[in-house]
């Protein structure tokens, strides 16, 4: 009997405001495990993003224009529902610290109970562990250059189009 092969698809959800080298590393390493990764830009009602949804999509499209195994979507609602809608059998997540891991473990348990989806957590490479989207946003607010924290090829929108709080 010939074994059946099923395409392994993972959903990588987040606000990605902005997408950093740490996120990029998780996707690249995830492509060694999965056949396809759907990067899902979620709406978080508790956050006021600096970059619009359209800007975040455009930035990710710059990076993954030549990678057919990565697709980019935006969504609101339950992440597990979006995963199912896009044929994902797995959630891909990253963890920089024990605190991140505890949060991801709780979410993984809930997601498995309500949907049966398994979560694969990849630990951030040490070289990127200090990078967070919130730190990058803070640096942008104060006019600091942030390219060293962003994936190669990603170009930020013009500063005047960003949602930056007034000082």
Residue 131 lies in a domain: yes
Residue 128 lies in a domain: yes
**Six token digits for residue 20:** 């950093």
Domain that holds residue 109: 9-160
Cα 97 to Cα 100: distance, rounded to the nearest angstrom: 5
Residue carrying structure tokens 């390493």: 29
Instruction: Name the domain count of the chain.
Output: 1
DSSP string, 49-83: -SS-HHHHHHHHHHHHTT-TTEEEEEE-S-HHHHH
Instruction: Report pLDDT for 4.
Output: 64
Residue 165 lies in a domain: no
Say which of 23, 56, 93, 137 is annotated catalytic.
23
Residue 101 lies in a domain: yes
Residue 166 lies in a domain: no
Cα distances (Å, whole numbers) of residue 35 to 83, 121, 154: 15, 17, 23
Per-residue pLDDT of the chain (167 residues; tens, 9 = 90+): 666 668 999 999 999 999 999 999 999 999 999 999 999 999 877 778 999 999 999 999 999 999 999 999 999 999 999 999 999 999 999 999 998 999 999 999 999 999 999 999 999 999 999 999 999 999 999 999 999 999 998 989 988 888 887 65
Say which of 8, 84, 96, 105 is annotated catalytic.
96
Residue 167 lies in a domain: no
Assign residue 116 a region: left if phi > 0, alpha if psi is -120 to 50, beta otherwise?
left
CATH code of the domain containing 21:
3.40.50.620
Q: Is 96 one of the catalytic residues?
A: yes
Question: In angstroms, how far is CA 2 from the centroid of its own chain?
Answer: 36
Cα 30 to Cα 78: distance, rounded to the nearest angstrom: 22
For residue 12, the cross-strand partners are 39
Residue 4 lies in a domain: no
Model confidence, pTM: 0.92
Residue 141 lies in a domain: yes
Say which of 21, 108, 133, 137 is annotated catalytic.
133
Q: Is 133 one of the catalytic residues?
A: yes
Say which of 47, 85, 144, 159 is annotated catalytic.
47
Q: Is 23 one of the catalytic residues?
A: yes
């Amino acid at each position: 009997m010939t074994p059946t092969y099923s395409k392994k698809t993972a959903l990588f959800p987040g606000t990605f405001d902005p997408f950093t080298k740490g996120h990029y590393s998780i996707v690249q390493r995830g492509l060694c495990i999965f056949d396809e990764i759907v990067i899902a830009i979620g709406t978080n009602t508790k956050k006021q993003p600096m970059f619009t949804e359209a800007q975040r999509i455009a930035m990710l499209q710059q990076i993954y224009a030549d990678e057919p195994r990565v697709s980019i979507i935006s969504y609101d609602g339950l992440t597990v529902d979006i995963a199912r809608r896009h044929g994902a059998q797995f959630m891909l997540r990253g963890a920089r610290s024990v605190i991140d891991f505890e949060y991801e473990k709780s979410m993984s348990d809930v997601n498995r109970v309500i949907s049966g989806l398994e979560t694969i957590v990849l630990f951030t490479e040490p070289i990127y562990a200090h990078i967070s989207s919130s730190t990058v946003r803070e640096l942008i607010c104060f006019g600091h250059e942030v390219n060293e924290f962003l994936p190669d090829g990603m170009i930020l929108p013009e500063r005047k189009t960003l949602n930056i709080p007034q000082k």
